[in-house]
Amino acid sequence: MSSLPGFSLAARLRAGETVHTGWCGLPAPIVAEIVAREGFAAVTLDSQHGLWDLAGLVVGIAAVRQVGAAPIVRVPLGDFAMVSRVLDFGAEGIIAPMINTAADARAFVAAAKFPPIGERSWGPHRAAMLAGIADQKHYLANGNDNIVTLAMIETRAALANIDAIAATPGIDGLFLGPSDLSIALSDGRTLDPESQAVEAELDRIIAAAQKAGKIPGAYCANAERALAVAKRGMRFCAISSDMGFLRAGARAQLDLLK
C-alpha cells in the first residue's frame, strides 16, 4: 500500500494509531478549522444530522485540510451519490449511517472505491489539487488504499449482519452509533448511549471488526468516554461536537461568575 501526498488518515490507522476526530455540525468552515487547529488528527463534517450542504462542504473540507487534519464526512442516510462528490472535494474518509446488511455495505463501497473494488466515477480534480498531486494517475492507483470507509452499526439488523458487513471488501471499519443503537435495542423506549444494552454490544462490534482486520470506531460524548472505549479496543473515536464544545466553554465561563 502506498500513501498519497496530503492524505494521513488511512496511514495513521494502518500504523496502529488510535485516531480522534472532532465533530462539526455547524456549517461554518472557520469553526471546523478552529477545531482542527486545536490538534485533532481529523475533523468530521456531519451532513446527516448536522447542517452541512454540498457548497459548504467544498469550503469546509479545504479549511480542515489546510491545517493538516484529515477531513471526514458523514453523509445523509442512503445518499451514496454524495459519497463520491465529497471524496472529489477532498475528503479522506466517509461515515455512512444505518449500514444494516452486506448489500448496504456493498452499495457504500461501490460509491467510495474505484474499480475493481467499487464503481466510483472519476473526477477527484479538487481533491488532487488540495493534496498537491500533480499526476492524477497516482490518485487513481492509490486512492482506494487512502480513502477510509466506516459503516455505522446502529440497529438490531446491523448487529445480526455484523460479520458479513465487516467482511465486505472495501469496508475499512465499523463505527458504533450509540444513540440510535440504544433506541433500537430498547424498542424506542430509551435514549441512553451508555446503556447496559449498548455496553453489551460494544465489545461484539470491536471483535467483529478485529476478526475481519477492520478498524473499530465509535462516537463518544466526551474524552472520558473515548479513553474508556479505546482501552477496550476502539481505534477511531469521535469526540463531542462543535456545539458541545461551545456549550461547555460558555457554561464554564458562566460558572466562574457565580
Residue 66 and residue 34 in contact, taking contact as beta carbons nearer than 8 Å: no
pLDDT for position 147: 98
Q: Which three cell numbers stand for residue 235?
A: 481505534
**CA 4 to the chain's CA centroid:** 19
- The pLDDT of residue 180 is 99
Print the SS3 string covering the chain.
CCCCCCCCHHHHHHCCCCEEEEEECCCCHHHHHHHHHCCCCEEEEECCCCCCCHHHHHHHHHHHHHHCCEEEEECCCCCHHHHHHHHHHCCCEEEECCCCCHHHHHHHHHHHCCCCCCCCCCCCHHHHHHHCCCCHHHHHHHHHHHCEEEEEECCHHHHHCHHHHHHCCCCCEEEECHHHHHHHHCCCCCCCCCCHHHHHHHHHHHHHHHHCCCEEEEEECCHHHHHHHHHCCCCEEEECCHHHHHHHHHHHHHHHCC
Can you give the pLDDT at residue 1?
Answer: 60
Query: Which residues does residue 246 pair with via DSSP β-bridges, in sequence order?
Result: none
CB contact at 8 A, 177 and 49: no
Say if CB 118 and CB 111 are below 8 A apart: yes
84-87 — which CB contacts under 8 Å span 24+ positions?
84/111, 84/112, 84/120, 84/121, 84/123, 85/54, 86/54, 86/57, 86/61, 87/112, 87/120, 87/124, 87/127, 87/147
Specify whether the CB–CB gap between 60 and 73 falls below 8 A: no
Phi, psi torsion values for 25, nearest 5 degrees: -105, -20
So what's the pLDDT on residue 219?
A: 99
The full set of domains in the chain, from first to last, is 9-256 (3.20.20.60)
Residue 131 confidence (pLDDT): 94
CA–CA gap between residue 239 and residue 257 (Å, rounded)? 27
Q: Which amino acids are annotated catalytic? A: 49
Q: Could you say which residues of the chain have pLDDT below 70?
A: 1
Query: What integer pLDDT is reported at residue 4 of this predicted model?
Result: 87
